Structure 1
Amino acid sequence: MTLAQRLLDLGLVLPETAAPGARYAAVVVHDGLAWVSGQLPRDGDRVIAMGKLGRDIDIPAAQHGARIALLRGLAALRDELGDLTRVRQILKLAVYVNSTEDFTGHSAVADGASALIYELLGPEFGKHARTSVGVAQLPRDGCVELDLVVALA
């Protein structure tokens, strides 16, 4: 089953575009790997999950934001590659969580994206390395930002 078909089966639609907001590449492809730049939980220009964990937004809302950010990352891949047929495995997921100093649930927020990767790619290719860290702030007050390293066929 293809990644595009799995997205359809789950009722998920990728954003129309995931173009970068400045002078950098949304995706760089080199030697069979795709490096996907940081993605916020955006719908068009609007950030849909904003604020600091531990103060403004709860973990379930931030997990949803992480899922949206992952879908934007996949849209960026699609835009760069033409489609998603070459995506073999997401090797590395880095998740940055906008959080208060005393918040410690960063990994729970990252689980929103990790669970979706597993749902999309299955037990064999859904395995990925991951880092989740708390940060003082993120662009446009997003609650989460993520980037990816992807193996291509």
Structure 2
Amino acid sequence: MNLDQRLTELSIVLPASAAPGAQYAPGVVHQGLAWIAGQLPRDGDRVLVSGKLGREVSIDDAKMGARAALIRALAALRDTVGDLQRIDKILRLNVYVNSTEDFSQQSAVADGASALIYELFGPEQGRHARTSVGVAQLPRNAAVELDIVVALEI
């Protein structure tokens, strides 16, 4: 299926740009793999979900944040490779959750991004390896940050 068509069907609009806020690339391509830099759940400069899980942020809000961060990652991927139709398979998703010491449901937060990957790519292209970890703090006090590794069609 055409990814642009699938995004439209799901009423998802990718940001016009996912340019980084510092001197690094939004993504790097090497030997058929695209490595996309960490993305926050942002709309422009505004962080959509901020704070710590286990304190002031609910799992449902953080899942929505993970989904928003994945949408930014797809925009960064588009900016990096020029055309989302080059995606062969999503290989890896890393999710970092700003959480208290006793919070242990990081994988539930990551489900927000994984579910969208499956919605967009289906079970074959969307089946991915995943890591979800709790961290003491994230940039801009974001509740979640993620990065992806993607295999490109050659």
Match of 1:65 in 2: 65
Number of the residue aligned with 1:35: 35
Identity %: 70
Give, as a single letter, the amino acid of the residue that structure 1 aligns with 2:10. L
Q: CA deviation at 1:123?
A: 1.1
Residue in 1 that maps onto 2:125: 125
Q: Paired residue for 2:81?
A: 81
Aligned length: 153
* 2:101 counterpart residue number: 101
Compute the displacement of 1:27 (Å).
Answer: 0.4
Partner of 1:44: 44
1:66 shift after superposition: 0.2
Under a length normalisation based on structure 1, what TM-score does the superposition of the two structures give?
Answer: 0.99
Q: Provide Cα deviations, 1:111-140, integer angstroms capped at 9, x if missing partner.
A: 000000000000111100000000000000
The two structures, once aligned, show a CA RMSD in angstroms of 0.6
2:95 aligned counterpart, secondary structure: strand
Partner AA of 2:78 in structure 1: R
DSSP 3-state at the match of 2:84? coil
Unaligned segments of structure 2, at least 5 residues: none
How far does the alpha carbon of each residue in 1:90-129 deviate from its partner, in whole angstroms, 9 at most, with x for none?
1000000000000011000000000000000001111000
Normalising by structure 2, what TM-score? 0.98
Q: Measure how far apart 1:4 and its partner are.
A: 1.2
**AA in 2 matched with 1:112:** G
Partners of 1:145 and 1:19 in 2: CA distance? 15
Once the two structures are TM-superposed, the CA of residue 79 in structure 1 deviates from its matched residue by 1.1
Alignment partners' CA distance in 2, 1:111 and 1:15? 22
Unaligned runs of 5+ in 1: none
**Greater shift after overlay, 79-88 or 140-149?**
79-88
